[in-house]
Amino acid sequence: TNEELLASNEELQSTNEELQSVNEELITVNTEYQAKIGELTELNADIDHLQIATEVHTLFVDRQLCIRKFTPRIAATFNLMPHDIGRSIEVFAHSLKRPSLVEDIRRVATTGEPFEAHVQDASERWYLLRILPYRRGGNLDGAVLTLIDVTGLRRAQAETERVHLLLSSILKSASSHIFILDPQHRYVVVD
């Protein structure tokens, strides 16, 4: 009986050593996972900060047009709340003057063909609307909608056109010849 107890004790010690070895391996793996989780958490925080800090309004939808993620900037456009993640974008009204917006998103989410247009919202601000395919692992998995405020650019273009028309009318109505030289003394305008 004593020999059997000694043999059992040796087996238990051997098993205990194996368990300690497995425990050490698990501690190492757990430490590596904790480091990766820390890196992912930091990366996610950086991406969230980037999305919040930029002026780009961004909305992610899956292939069924259910909301995956959105930035605070676009939340006002669609009246979105954090608990709306997972709901279809089709049920939300938006302030953009583009009745076919949902169809545009659906087309990109199903075909993968990007879409771009200039749109206005209800407050008369202009945006560059881009709807791009969202790919995961090379497979089409939805769409990303972005809005970039180009109101200042549109105003500058309108002012440039106004000045151009004014200068053209002045040149056409002038009774004498007019010419303009650049700093290198080259003719820029001759009439």
Measured at the alpha carbon of residue 70, what is the angle toward residues 68 and 76, in degrees to the nearest 5?
Answer: 135
For residue 87, which amino acid is it? Answer: R
Q: Give the whole-angstrom CA distance, residue 141 versus residue 179.
A: 59
On the question of pLDDT at 151 being above 90, the answer is yes
What pLDDT sits at residue 191?
66
Are residues 56 and 129 in contact, defined by beta-carbon separation less than 8 angstroms? no
Q: Give the whole-angstrom CA distance, residue 2 versus residue 75.
A: 76
Residues 6+ apart with CB under 8 A from 141: 62, 63, 134, 135
Share of the chain above pLDDT 70, in %: 99
Per residue in 141-163, is it b (16+ CB within 10 Å) or e — as a string? bbbbbbbebbeeebeeeeeeeee
C-alpha neighbours within 13 Å on the C-beta side of residue 70: 27
Mean pLDDT of 160-178: 85
Q: Give the whole-angstrom CA distance, residue 12 versus residue 49.
A: 54
- Cβ count near 172 (within 10 Å): 8
Tokens of 170: 């002045």
Per-residue pLDDT band at 169 (split at 50, 70, 90): confident
Q: Give the whole-angstrom CA distance, residue 45 versus residue 51.
A: 10
pTM above 0.85, yes or no: no
In this predicted model, what pLDDT tens digit does every residue of 93-139 receive, in sequence order? 999 999 999 999 999 999 999 999 999 999 999 999 999 999 998 89
